[in-house]
Amino acid sequence: MANVQHISSRTEIPADSNYVLVTYGEKSEQKRDSLGVTITVPHGTSMAMSDLSFTAALHSAKEIAKRENISTVYACK
């Protein structure tokens, strides 16, 4: 299972490594580029709902990392 590393900015992800990133943003989406996957969780009106959505996205990110043999999931709050 992938390790979760909490970061304060996506610039903390090593430039040449594959990654799965979970972060907050304006809308819910999942994007893929040549090095990895970014899962965006929308900021909600309720902090509890946002936290729950973020936790669910982290679980999904771990499954993606496992499937794609990526050792670290980055969580950027």
Looking at per-residue confidence, does 59 or 46 come out higher?
59
For residue 45, is pLDDT > 80?
no
Region at 55 (left for phi over 0; alpha for psi -120 to 50; beta for the rest): alpha
Range of the domain at 49: 3-76
Is there a contact between 10 and 62 (Cβ–Cβ < 8 Å)? no
**Neighbouring residues of 25: CB distance < 8 A, sequence distance ≥ 6:** 40, 41, 42, 43
CA angle 54, 15, 59 (to 5 degrees): 20
Q: How many domains does the chain contain in total?
A: 1
- With a cut of 80, say whether residue 50 has pLDDT above it: yes
Provide the whole-model pTM. 0.91
